[in-house]
Structure 1
Amino acid sequence: MKEIGILIIGGGPAGLSAAAAAADLGASVLVIERDGKLGGQLVKQTHKFFGSKKQYAGDRGYKIGDFLIEQCENNPKVEVWSGTTALGIYEDGVVTAEGEGKHLKIKPKKIILATGASEKMIAFPNNDMPGIYGAGAVQTLMNVHGIVPGQRVLMIGAGNIGLIVSYQLLQAGVEVAAIIEAAPTIGGYLVHASKIRRAGVPILTSHTIQEAYGKDSVEGAIICKLDENWQAIPGTEQDLKVDVICLAVGLSPLTELCFQADCQMKYVPELSGHVPLRNEYLETTRPGLYVAGDVSGVEEASSAMVEGRLAGICAALGLGYGSDVAPKLQAEALAELSELRSGPAGQKTVQGIKNLMDKGEAVC
C-alpha cells in the first residue's frame, strides 16, 4: 500500500499544475498518468497560447507542457507513475490502479481528479469507416508521430479545435476541402477562422454531413445545408471527394471516477456534460476530493492550468501546508479564473457554473 499526502489522477495541464502548486507548499504528491508521457493534450499542441503572461501567452502548447513536466520532475516532493491507470476510488479512501501489469493500492489523504475529457462523435451512415478520425487523433498522428492522415480532409466543426487542427493540416501539406459547422455561426476565435479563410478554405456554417462513402475506406462525403430548425434542406447536397473526415464536434468530461467515488453530479450543457458539484475551491461533495480542468467542465488549457493550481493549493492547505501564504494564492487563482472567463468566450462557462450552483443544490 502506497501512502501519500496528495494523489493526482491525470498528468495533463491541470494535473501537473496542481502537483507543482501543492509540492511548492510542502505537500508530498503522487501523480499517476495512464499514458507513457506526461503533458496530456499539450504534447500535440503546436499553436501559440492566448491570455496573459501568467498563462504562458505567446508560448506553444508543447513548450508549456515541457515546462510543467520539468517543474514536477525537478521537485523532490513530486513522484510520478506514468503508464498507470486509476481503476477506482473506494469508501475507505483507497485508490486502486494498474501499472506494469500490477494491481496497485494507494492511500492518499487528498485526491485531485484531473482526468480531462474525451472527444464526442456524431452519428451518420458509414461513420465507422477507415479514414474517419477525431480531431485529437489527427493531432496525435501529425504532431507527435509525424504522420499525415491523408491527402484531402473534410473537417466537421468550426470551434477552436476544428479551426486549429485544420490550420495544422494545411501546414503539413494536407488539403482541407472545407470546414462545415451545423450552427449558424463559427464557434471558435475569429483569429483562427481568418487564417483558414486567407488560405482559401471555405467555412460553411449551417451545414452538416449526411453520409460518408467509399469501398474499403473513405472516398467522399455528402454534405448539405440546414434550415433554421436544423433540418436538411433538400437540393442543397454537395459531394466532396475526400479521403479523411475529421470530427471536431466537442468534448465530454471524463467523470467515470467521479461517479464511482459517489460525488454528487449534475448535467450542465454549458460545461459539456455531467460534472461534479463543487465549491469555489474545487472540492466536491466527497470531502477531500477535488477536481480541476476539463473533468470539471470543458474549457481552454489556460483555465485548466489555473484550476489545477487552485486545487493543488487547496488540497495542500487542507493538510496544513502553506497556511501563511495559501489564502493569498487562492485569491490570486480565483481572480485569474474570473479574468479568463470575463470575455464573450467565457460567458458559456460562467453560465454553466451558475447553473451548477442553482436550484438549491448544496455543495460542500
Structure 2
Amino acid sequence: MTYIEKGSTEYIKASLALFFGGFVTFAILYTTQPLLPIFAKEFHVSAASASLTVSASTGTLAVMMLVAASLSDQTGKKNVMMMSMLLTSMLAMAMAFCPNFISLVLARTFLGMAAAGIPSLAMAYVAEEFHPAGIGKVMGLYISGTSIGGMAGRILTGVLTDLFSWRTALFAIGAISLLLSVIFALILPAPRHSVKKPLNGKTALRAYAVHLRNKPLMALIVLGFLFMGGFVTLYNYIGFLLSEPPYSFSQSVLGFLFIVYIFGSFSSVYMGRKADLHGHALVLSISVALTALGAVATLVPSVIAKIIGLSLFTFGFFGCHSIASAWIGERANVNKAQASSLYLLFYYLGSSLAGTAGGYFWTHLHWLGVIAFIVTLLLLSYPLIGYAHKRLE
C-alpha cells in the first residue's frame, strides 16, 4: 500500500483537513479560557471553580479518547473524526444558551466527550497514512492547526464579548467550526493503512496493555501531563492577573494576547523538522528549557516582558508537544491509535487536573506560585526524556 507522499494532491488535501481538525477542536475546547474572570464575576464563583469550564471538557475528553481509538477500529478513523467535529461544533453553539454556571459546566462536559475523536485519532492517522520520513513535519502541521485554532478562538471570543456578549461569542465560534467540519469531511482522504476490527473490550484492553508494559514509551506518554499541565495553568490564570490593577485589561485586549500562539504554529513545524534532523531527545530538551524560561520571564512586571515571556513559553511548548507526539508515533510499532490516545489521556488530564490545581497557587501564592508550579512540572520532564532516549534511540 502506498503512503501519502509530499507534493501530491492527497498530501495537500490531508494536510489541510488535519489543520482544520486541529483548528476546530482547539478553538472550541479552550474558547472559555479568556472568559474565566467574567464567569467568576457573573456567576459568583472562585477562580478554580471558573476553570472547571475548561477542566470539565479536557477531563472527559481525556477518558473518551480511549473509547474513540477503539471505536475507530470498527468504524474507521475518518468517520469518527468527522462525527466528532460535527457534534462538537453543534454543542458549542448550544452552549451559548446555558442559563447558569452548573448547566455551562455540564455542557462543557458533554462537549469534551464529543471532541475526543480528533485528538485521539489525528496523530494515528498521520503515523499510518503519511510516509515515515516526513511524519515530524506533518505532525507539526496538524499541531499548528491546534495553535492557530486556539489563538483565533480566544481572540474572537474576546472581541465579540466586548462588542456583544460571551454568549454571542461562543455561538459564533461554533458556527464557524461547523462550516470547517463540513470541509474536513469532504477533503480528508479515506485511510488505506488501517484495518477495521470488531469492537471488543478485551482486544482494546490488550492493545493498551502492550503500551503500558513498554516503560520507555510510557516515559514519553507521561510527558504529555507535564507539558500540558503547565501550559494550561499559565493561560488559565494570566487573565486574572492582567484583568487586575495595575493592568486592568479589557476582554478584547486579553483575547489579543493569545496572538502569541502564532509562535506555536511556527515552532510545531520548525522544531519537529529539527527533531527529524538532530534527534528527538536533544531538541525536546531544548524546547523544555525555552518553555520554562518563557514562564519565568512573565514574572517581570513590564507588559512587554510578559508578552515576550508568553511568546517564548508558547514557542517552547508547541515544540515539546510536536516532538513528543512524533516520537511516540514512530516508536509505537503496533496499535498506534491506542499509543496516541494514551499520550493524549495524560496530556488532557494534565490540562484538567493541573489546570484546576493552579487555582490554589493563584489564590494563595498569586503569580509567583503559579510560575513555580509550572516550572516544577517542566523540570520533572528531564529524567523521563533521558530514560526514553537511552532505551529507544
TM-score (normalizing by structure 2): 0.28
Q: Which has the higher strand share?
A: 1
Q: Which has the higher helix share?
A: 2
